[in-house]
Structure 1
Amino acid sequence: MTKLAKAEEQLMELIWQQEKVFLKDLIEAHPDPKPAATTVATLLKRMQDKGFVGYELLGNSRRYFPLVNKDDYFSKHIGEMVKDYFGDSALQFASFFTSNANLSTDELEELKKIINQEIKKKKK
């Protein structure tokens, strides 16, 4: 799976949120400064070519929808990052993340609960 450029990823996030969306709605939902319609159309075309976005014609308008699941996309790229930067060790990545993400005590407690739930699942 190809990685999206930053501008494409930002646009893809809006598509994931709305699931089916027209060009004008993407521009409206985009944070300021709003991009030009031609810019968004170009990004959408590139994202189609990469296999991330599809569309259906409704009259003269295209309604875009995601072809790639958000969790699948980010899982793949996090996996590549773990492989490239942490010697393919999820443990090293988790250690780095918890040490450097500046998590609050409440967030660390919540993370601890998630880890404990995963441990219970694995023991079953």
Structure 2
Amino acid sequence: MKLSPTEEELMNHLWSLKKAFMKDLLDAYPEPKPASTTISTLLKRMQEKEFVAYKAFGNSREYYPLVTKENYFSKHINALIKNFFNDSPAQFASFFTKKTQLSDEELIEIKADIDNLLNKK
């Protein structure tokens, strides 16, 4: 299941904070801040999608993510590779390195990561 862009933005705040009350989440947004009812609605939808849960403290709820950022984006990148790159990670990597404006330092870092993975196999 996928999050909407507004849910992803909220989820990013929650991933950064690790756990948060409504006030903490509102404080994480820049001005103009969304209404607390908007955040509450998003959190409810995200609970239904099983991305977020909460622990009750009296009338307050402390929210926390049920899915890691890495796992969430990994699934979506794999779906992207499957749907747009003929299920070929090599095609995706080729496209990514040619069509994004990576600096020499970034390319060297990616190459080092690949070399490290190959050396571990």
Q: What is the TM-score normalised by the length of structure 2? A: 0.97
Structure 1 equivalent of residue 34 of structure 2: 35
Q: Are 1:11 and 2:41 matched, yes or no?
A: no
Q: Are 1:84 and 2:77 matched, yes or no?
A: no
The runs of at least 4 consecutive aligned structure 1 residues that moved more than 4 Å come to none
Structure 1 equivalent of residue 58 of structure 2: 59
Percent identical across equivalent pairs?
A: 55
Secondary structure of the 1:21 match is coil
Q: Which runs of 5 or more residues in structure 1 are unaligned?
A: none
Q: Are 1:94 and 2:111 matched, yes or no?
A: no
Alignment RMSD (CA, Å) = 0.7
Instruction: Give the stretch that moved more between structures: 58-67 or 27-36.
Output: 27-36
Q: What is the TM-score normalised by the length of structure 1? A: 0.95
